[in-house]
């Protein structure tokens, strides 16, 4: 599979299509870890997204979660039973 842009990857994920790799996103990094990394030379003034190559935040609202859950339930219901 060819490499995808962040936007292509997020859109494909929400549409239940194949992606080149999972969305790269971190929800929490311990303050102690950040302090240590800064002491070890992590550049300041650069976002974590830039440092770690995260994809942009792809939503996370309750409405998005509910819509995705409904789509997944509908897709499962449409599958033939074994």
Q: How confident is the model over 53-81, as pLDDT tens digits?
A: 887 765 555 566 667 667 777 777 777 76
Kindly list the domain boundaries of the chain, sorted by start residue.
Answer: 6-78
For the segment 13-61, what is each residue's pLDDT rounded down to a tens digit?
888 999 998 887 777 788 999 899 999 999 988 888 788 888 776 555 5
Where on the phi/psi map is residue 76: left (φ > 0), alpha (ψ -120 to 50), or beta? alpha
Whole-number Cα distances in Å, 35 to 28, 32, 49, 52 = 14, 5, 17, 16
pLDDT of residue 40: 96
């Amino acid at each position: 599979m060819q490499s995808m842009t962040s936007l292509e990857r997020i859109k494909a994920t929400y549409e239940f299509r194949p992606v080149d790799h999972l969305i790269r996103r971190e929800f929490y990094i311990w303050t102690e870890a950040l302090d240590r990394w800064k002491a070890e030379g992590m550049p300041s003034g650069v976002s974590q997204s830039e440092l770690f190559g995260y994809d942009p935040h792809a939503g996370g609202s309750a409405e998005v979660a509910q819509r995705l859950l409904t789509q997944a339930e509908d897709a499962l219901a449409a599958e033939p039973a074994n």
